[in-house]
Structure 1
């Protein structure tokens, strides 16, 4: 296995070459405003090393493009929103719980039609196909290029959504269609919100993936492109174009997967201290623990596959205020090498504090030699207090657990913390995010209700579905392993109903080898 992993952070873009699961070479370059230039710079620097000038099997990129677009209200597009479930959902139309500024940028037209299913999978109302055709014509005439379709209880029966896609493809074939059951779980508004966000990012996803491909080609690399996704696995670039929301939290999950790989620990707390933020999470069986509750993205409530993370405004580029002494949440970000005192700038940052305290040796130490010891100690105490409190918030057990400290700003993590059995610092920990991208696997998930089956048979059926989806996404079938299994009896449904969720993951399939049956 020879792979290049790239992770684009708010401050740095890291690139690493992994050969047979070992780090051969890595580079760190400042993230650029257009992001893709930073990727190209990192790739060129990586390939300049003779040991890294080898043919690679894949390039895997973790990007913040898509979540930044939502948070910053930039590069989102107007879309059509089709809700199938009338008259039951009339009082809560699409975008009803969105921040008004974001809704005004995305809401192109709303169509609410009869159809959908009930909680037991029975049809709620006959699907209004005539209304769907009229909606498709209006979408075409209005020039909307992306549509989100959400039907009530579509994870149980997606037929209304798939019919809507067929009608849209017939009347406006150039429109990109997002179906909510492909993204979310049971929970109408949150699943619909995920689909709406996804549809609003379609054009950005197309241009971003194309730019990534160009950067790879311009670097002289001939290899397939993958993007990392929220659960610590990868998806083919074509799938990423269709589902950009699946990359929202990929940066933090890359670091967690990289930390697990570099340390050999599959169960531990992880803190990834970057230049702008610190992401805190927990590893379970080598993968980030998933959030089982609603996750807000840019003020929008969603419920789909996302890691259970806590992000705080603490990083290597964090501003340090002197009266009162406070570290973060503002950061100089990718301007660290120009704005920080040790690099000739005028802004006091946490990196300056660390240099003055002797924790790291970068830049010109003489420029912080006159910082008062009182200020240095107070700033470090503030940073340590924040880490201690928030790591404890993310723990799910009372006993002491190991903590993996990674990221370019890991020097801010003290050697001892209450509730932590040991602080583990790993080689190449400052590029754990890129390592996590390079070693990432392909996953597949099944989440549905089974009836008239034993628990064992239902789980086996879900596992088969998840495995097929993983193989379809590019995994080698013989490498698949079960990562998560959840099952819950549904008392209000007949036929011994059981809701089962299974996730599997495996290595990227070798395109030169025949697929396993």
Structure 2
């Protein structure tokens, strides 16, 4: 019997799950996340293997989803020393790099910022020849002072030759010890947002490396020698090498894993997923089994970026949400929460803070802690609070819908017990077994993906042929990444005519995904 092990590291808990070859849950658990992350992962794996009583030699695949890179950006901790190079002078010098970035982050990153001649017009024509000598002099200047470099060239998604040449020169001068991030590989059209995403990517390389090595070490200490994968925020997997090159793609993989896990547990590929944690409820939409992607620029730690992110609506309502009641019995729900202190602070656990969990226990909807601790509370008041909690979720669900039609709604996460089986706007409400560890399950069932984004000259005569070639290319990329050739399908496709480019230019973006090849 072969198994796959999924780990999801959250801010409060590290969740783990073991699945068999038929994707059935063998065992799942939660342990507290530790400061160094590695210890928490080790504890989860150790307990999981011991309690499930499985042979470690039979674990074939291991997957890790983590919020460590997100936390590093938000908390401004453990970031790389970054050199920022923008290729586009003299045309692109009016707005400097890091414009609009919060001052505290700017101070940490803005040590070595350079503007270099080069870049392209929107039609692929050179603005200026790349100043290779300037790149070489920058390399000499930053040598030993930075450990990561972010390169952004104007319109590099149309022509990335200046970025790649700059990277080649920097490699010649600095060797392989310095990480290099290219904007054409990280973001899409939109210079400042793409540049910001590239700078953030360059700044979290060390965090990604520490997390990846910690995961491998924890596996090794438990005697597990399996293939290692990392979760990215579109619901698919990437290798360690890919993760260390593009750590920004792990940002938001937590909510994504929950959505994918919910899809799997409820057997729904098109549904609204509500992941209820201790502090927030994250509401997202599944389309063909994958999270709907955000179509707008995404704010990450106060920085405006444009790389792919799931479209998530988060509200301040979870199991630990604090309820404040005034003397006249008016009340306010959240948005603050007792978080991981719920087992000490909530009334049902002997604490003194009224939480959302106390409300549902007081109404007899859930058996948790000591119900006698909330028996004195006014039932009419509790009903009013509960009604407002449900309305908050209904409104959050309504905001992510694109039509007035009812849709299936799946509740997962540790706080999913807070909500009833009937919700306005829901055609059916699912509360699946093992929903409390949907994020770890989403990590374990993740597929391999491949994506292509190219500009083609498309007209009526050649359209079908070119799109067919593009689909085959995306499928080929997915198989190369480690997917089973018989189980690959196209999961997303878009073609956008570029009116400003000559010759019927169309940007084609296709994504394929498939199960891991066993």
Say whether the fold is shared (TM-score over 0.5): yes
Q: Does the Cα contact within 8 Å between 2:27 and 2:52 map onto a contact in 1?
A: no
Alpha-carbon distance in 2 for matches of 1:41, 1:352: 30
User: Which residue in 1 is equivalent to 2:268?
Assistant: 265
Alpha-carbon distance in 1 for matches of 2:19, 2:463: 41
| Distance of aligned partners of 1:452 and 1:58 in 2 relative to their CA distance in 1, 3 Å threshold | same
From 477, 480, 491, give the equivalent of 1:483: 491
Matched, 1:119 2:122: yes
Please show how residues 424-503 of structure 1 align to structure 2 within 5 Å.
Answer: 424-451=430-457, 454-503=462-511
User: Which residue in 2 is equivalent to 1:382?
Assistant: 388
| Distance of aligned partners of 1:244 and 1:364 in 2 relative to their CA distance in 1, 3 Å threshold | same
User: Which residue in 1 is equivalent to 2:18?
Assistant: 17
Alpha-carbon distance in 2 for matches of 1:3, 1:25: 11
User: Which residue in 1 is equivalent to 2:7?
Assistant: 6
| Distance of aligned partners of 1:470 and 1:139 in 2 relative to their CA distance in 1, 3 Å threshold | farther
Alpha-carbon distance in 1 for matches of 2:322, 2:223: 39
| Distance of aligned partners of 1:220 and 1:363 in 2 relative to their CA distance in 1, 3 Å threshold | farther
Give the secondary structure class of the aligned counterpart of 1:408.
Answer: coil
Q: Does the Cα contact within 8 Å between 1:153 and 1:188 map onto a contact in 2?
A: yes
From 282, 292, 296, give the equivalent of 1:293: 296
Q: Does the Cα contact within 8 Å between 2:274 and 2:411 map onto a contact in 1?
A: yes
From 29, 32, 35, give the equivalent of 1:30: 32
User: Which residue in 1 is equivalent to 2:64?
Assistant: 61
Q: Does the Cα contact within 8 Å between 1:58 and 1:225 map onto a contact in 2?
A: yes
Q: Over residues 336-389 of structure 1, what are the superposed CA-to-partner deviations in whole Å (9 max), with x where a residue is unaligned?
A: 223333333333322222222222222222332323324422332332222111
Tell me the CA shift for residue 120 of structure 1.
Answer: 1.3
User: Which residue in 2 is equivalent to 1:307?
Assistant: 310
Deviates more, 1:183-192 or 1:357-366: 357-366
From 158, 165, 171, give the equivalent of 2:167: 165
User: Which residue in 1 is equivalent to 2:101?
Assistant: 98
Alpha-carbon distance in 1 for matches of 2:483, 2:169: 32
| Distance of aligned partners of 1:445 and 1:403 in 2 relative to their CA distance in 1, 3 Å threshold | same
Please show how residues 239-388 of structure 1 align to structure 2 within 5 Å.
Answer: 239-323=242-326, 324-388=330-394
Tell me the CA shift for residue 239 of structure 1.
Answer: 1.5
Alpha-carbon distance in 2 for matches of 1:311, 1:36: 28
Give the secondary structure class of the aligned counterpart of 2:59.
Answer: coil
Give the number of aligned pairs. 509
Alpha-carbon distance in 1 for matches of 2:61, 2:418: 33
Give the secondary structure class of the aligned counterpart of 1:476.
Answer: strand
From 44, 47, 50, give the equivalent of 1:48: 50
User: Which residue in 1 is equivalent to 2:426?
Assistant: 420
Alpha-carbon distance in 1 for matches of 2:332, 2:45: 37
Q: Over residues 272-309 of structure 1, what are the superposed CA-to-partner deviations in whole Å (9 max), with x where a residue is unaligned?
A: 11122111111100100111111111111111111111
Q: Does the Cα contact within 8 Å between 1:481 and 1:505 map onto a contact in 2?
A: yes
Tell me the CA shift for residue 441 of structure 1.
Answer: 0.3
Q: Does the Cα contact within 8 Å between 2:91 and 2:127 map onto a contact in 1?
A: no
Deviates more, 1:316-325 or 1:192-201: 316-325
Give the secondary structure class of the aligned counterpart of 2:4.
Answer: strand
Alpha-carbon distance in 2 for matches of 1:318, 1:129: 56
Q: Does the Cα contact within 8 Å between 1:10 and 1:276 map onto a contact in 2?
A: no
Give the secondary structure class of the aligned counterpart of 2:507.
Answer: strand
Give the secondary structure class of the aligned counterpart of 2:143.
Answer: helix
| Distance of aligned partners of 1:214 and 1:338 in 2 relative to their CA distance in 1, 3 Å threshold | farther
Tell me the CA shift for residue 58 of structure 1.
Answer: 1.1
Alpha-carbon distance in 1 for matches of 2:325, 2:45: 39
Alpha-carbon distance in 2 for matches of 1:334, 1:219: 27
Alpha-carbon distance in 2 for matches of 1:358, 1:104: 53
User: Which residue in 2 is equivalent to 1:514?
Assistant: none
Tell me the CA shift for residue 166 of structure 1.
Answer: 0.7
Alpha-carbon distance in 2 for matches of 1:445, 1:364: 52
Matched, 1:504 2:506: no
Give the secondary structure class of the aligned counterpart of 1:479.
Answer: strand
Alpha-carbon distance in 2 for matches of 1:337, 1:30: 13
| Distance of aligned partners of 1:83 and 1:451 in 2 relative to their CA distance in 1, 3 Å threshold | same
Q: Does the Cα contact within 8 Å between 2:157 and 2:188 map onto a contact in 1?
A: yes
Q: Does the Cα contact within 8 Å between 2:5 and 2:444 map onto a contact in 1?
A: yes
Give the secondary structure class of the aligned counterpart of 1:477.
Answer: strand
Deviates more, 1:407-416 or 1:373-382: 373-382
Q: Does the Cα contact within 8 Å between 2:152 and 2:198 map onto a contact in 1?
A: yes
TM-score for both structures, normalised by structure 2: 0.94
Alpha-carbon distance in 1 for matches of 2:170, 2:320: 48
Give the secondary structure class of the aligned counterpart of 1:487.
Answer: strand
Matched, 1:210 2:213: yes
Tell me the CA shift for residue 332 of structure 1.
Answer: 2.4
Tell me the CA shift for residue 479 of structure 1.
Answer: 2.3
Tell me the CA shift for residue 498 of structure 1.
Answer: 1.2
Alpha-carbon distance in 1 for matches of 2:417, 2:6: 23
Q: Does the Cα contact within 8 Å between 2:37 and 2:211 map onto a contact in 1?
A: no
Q: Over residues 79-131 of structure 1, what are the superposed CA-to-partner deviations in whole Å (9 max), with x where a residue is unaligned?
A: 11110111221111110021111111222211111111111122221111111
Alpha-carbon distance in 2 for matches of 1:92, 1:456: 41
Alpha-carbon distance in 1 for matches of 2:341, 2:218: 23
Q: Does the Cα contact within 8 Å between 1:482 and 1:503 map onto a contact in 2?
A: yes
Tell me the CA shift for residue 452 of structure 1.
Answer: 5.2
Alpha-carbon distance in 2 for matches of 1:252, 1:452: 37
Give the secondary structure class of the aligned counterpart of 2:121.
Answer: coil
Alpha-carbon distance in 1 for matches of 2:66, 2:442: 13
